[in-house]
Amino acid sequence: MSAGTALMAQARKTGYSARVIVGAITRSAGAAREAIKVRKFFRRTAVILSLFSLGLLAGASADCVAQEAAARVASYSAAARVMQLASLGNVRAQVRLGSMYARGIGVPQNYVEAAKWYYRAADRGDGGAQLELGLMYNKGRGVPRDLVLSHMWLNLSASHAVGSNRDYAVRLRDALASKMTERQLLAAQHLATSWSRSR
C-alpha cells in the first residue's frame, strides 16, 4: 500500500476523504487559496510517509509519522465541519474557526481569515470574539493596526464579560487607553456606544 493510499484510508476512517475536506473548504468564501493549501498539505504528508516507508528518513518510527499524519487528517476533518457550521452562521463555530486560523490548527495559519471570522462573531455580540478582534487590531494582525477600533472591541468585550474574564478585558482596554490620545479615546467610546445602540 503506497503512502498516499494509506493516508486516504486513514482519512476515510475519520469519515472524510481528502476530496470532501477540500470540497468543504472550496465552498467557503474565498476558499480557492485554502483548497490549494490543503492539497499541498496532503501531498507533503504523502511524501513524508513515502520517505519513511522507504527508510530514507531516520530518527523516528514510521508509526509515529503515521500517527501524526492521522492527527493532521483528523484536524482537517474537524476544520471542515467547523467551516460548514461557521458559513451557516453558527456564532460559536465562527469564533472557533477564527481561533483555528489564528493558531494554525486544522488550517494553515492566516490572520486575515482569523480576523474575518472573529469579526462575523463579534458583530453578532460574542464577547470572546470581540476580545480577540480587539487584540488583532491592537497588534495589526490580519487587519491594519488601529487603536481606536481595538479599544472599541475591547470595551464591548468588557461590557459582556463577567468575573475574572471581565477583569482581564478591562485591564487590556485600560492598558490600551493609556497609549491613546484623548481624541482617539473619545472616538473609540463613541463607536462602542453607537455599536451597542444599533443592536
Per-residue pLDDT of the chain (199 residues; tens, 9 = 90+): 544 454 445 445 544 444 444 444 444 445 556 556 655 665 665 555 444 444 444 444 555 555 555 555 567 788 889 999 999 999 999 999 999 999 998 899 999 999 999 999 999 999 999 999 999 999 999 999 999 999 999 999 999 899 999 999 999 999 999 999 999 999 999 999 999 998 8
pLDDT for res 26 = 43
- Note if the pTM is more than 0.95: no
Transcribe 17-70 into DSSP letters. Answer: -HHHHHHHHHHSTT-HHHHHHHHHHHHHHHHHHHHHHTT-S-SS-HHHHHHHHH
CB 8 within 8 A of CB 18: yes
Amino acid in the structure at residue 72: R
Considering only CA atoms, which of 29, 192, 24 is closest in space to residue 122?
192
